Amino acid sequence: MPFLELSLRCRRSEQPRYEHALEDVGALAVTMLDADAETPDERAILEPGVGETPLWDELSLSALFPHDADALLLLAALEAFDPALDWSGAGFRRVEDEDWERAWMDQYVPLRFGARTFIVPWNQDLPDEARAGDAAVVRLDPGLAFGSGTHPTTSLCLQWLDALAGEGALAGATVLDFGCGSGILALAALKLGAARAVGIDNDPQALIATRDNAERNGVGEALAVFEPGEAPRETCPVVVANILASALDALAPELAARTAPGGRIALSGILDGQQHDLLARFGEWFDALTVAQEGDWIRIDGVRR
């Protein structure tokens, strides 16, 4: 199936703002290239690795949208979201999904988060340290319902889950993954000892990807997925929401209501500078709120009052 690709150039300092805007208007995936590379081999696709930021001064951003997206409406939405950015150089073209996925497969490598959590693509062998008896290994392919672990927002959540497992807080627990995407966080929680996981996402493609990934990782019976309006009204001792700051703000009462008293929550998808308002917002329901940072991205975690 073809997709609509938006491409534009930007400075490294502006990259987080452009990426945030593209994701807010529905980009399925965003990648970065060295805009000034002279040969195709030098134009390596990059999604910044753990703790990394782009090295190049000038970047070429590419974002995928559904094939039937209206380019003019997308530009209007982007300009409304962040009018200070220059969207005049944006170009559009149709691309085939197999070309995009092949590029991701070539760049996707095993990653470790915390003490024992590993995300390993299906086309890669397990690293030696992931063969230990207590290793929590999630096998994934890069796909359109994005969530491979390489982005700082996902990395921060995986590190948090790994730390919770080290405290024994996941053992036998039910974990809610709100905005589950590929299901990577729910799968990691199950591999780390959670008894059950619930994934919620408003994108039907994300729900399909989460179900498929759960089956392929042997935890299909322990994970249930729902669209937001269909999810049962239950409270969970562990809640993680890796979405955007605007959505976290709007969903704060619901996320609080879904977190059991004394339960733990992690909020990610927050750009540096956006955490202050969210700390005040979630402080109405949560104590011990703390901030972790990786690159330009923030995670907030706390305990339900």
Can you tell me the distance from the alpha carbon of 24 to that of 248, in angstroms, rounded to the nearest whole number? 12
Q: Pick one of 3.40.228.10, 3.40.50.2000, 2.60.120.650, 3.40.50.150 as the CATH number of 108-304.
A: 3.40.50.150
At 21, the pLDDT band (50, 70, 90 cuts) reads: very high
Residue with the bigger pLDDT between 109 and 180: it is 180
pLDDT tier for residue 89 given thresholds of 50, 70 and 90: confident
Distance in angstroms (rounded) separating the CA atoms of residues 145 and 213: 11
Q: State in words which class domain 2-105 has.
A: alpha beta
Would you state the pLDDT for residue 243? 86
Annotation: binding site: 154, 179, 201, 242
Q: Return the pLDDT at 98.
A: 54
Who has greater pLDDT, 76 or 192? Answer: 192
DSSP labels for 240-291?
A: EEES-HHHHHHHHHHHHHTEEEEEEEEEEEEETTSHHHHHHHHTTTEEEEEE
8 versus 255: the higher-pLDDT residue is 255
For residues 286 and 305, the answer to whether their CB atoms sit within 8 Å is yes
Residue 99 reports pLDDT greater than 80 = no
DSSP output for 65-100: EETT--HHHHHHHHHHH-TTS--TT-EEEEEEHHHH
Q: Is residue 48 pLDDT above 50, yes or no?
A: no
Phi-psi category of residue 267: left, alpha or beta, with phi > 0 → left and psi -120 to 50 → alpha: beta
- At residue 45, the pLDDT reads 37
**pLDDT score, position 97:** 61
The whole-model pTM stands at 0.71
Residue-level pLDDT at 148: 59
DSSP code of residue 127: P
Q: How far is 204 from 209, CA to CA, in rounded Å?
A: 9
- Please state the residue numbers annotated as binding site for S-adenosyl-L-methionine: 154, 179, 201, 242
- Domain boundaries defined on the chain: 2-105, 108-304
Q: What is the mean pLDDT of residues 160-180?
A: 97
Average pLDDT, the chain: 85
Residue 34 reports pLDDT greater than 70: no
pLDDT in tens, 143-162: 433 455 667 888 999 999 99
% pLDDT > 70, the chain: 85
* Phi, psi for residue 157 in degrees, rounded to 5: -70, -40
Most confident by average pLDDT, 14-18, 105-109, 204-208? 14-18
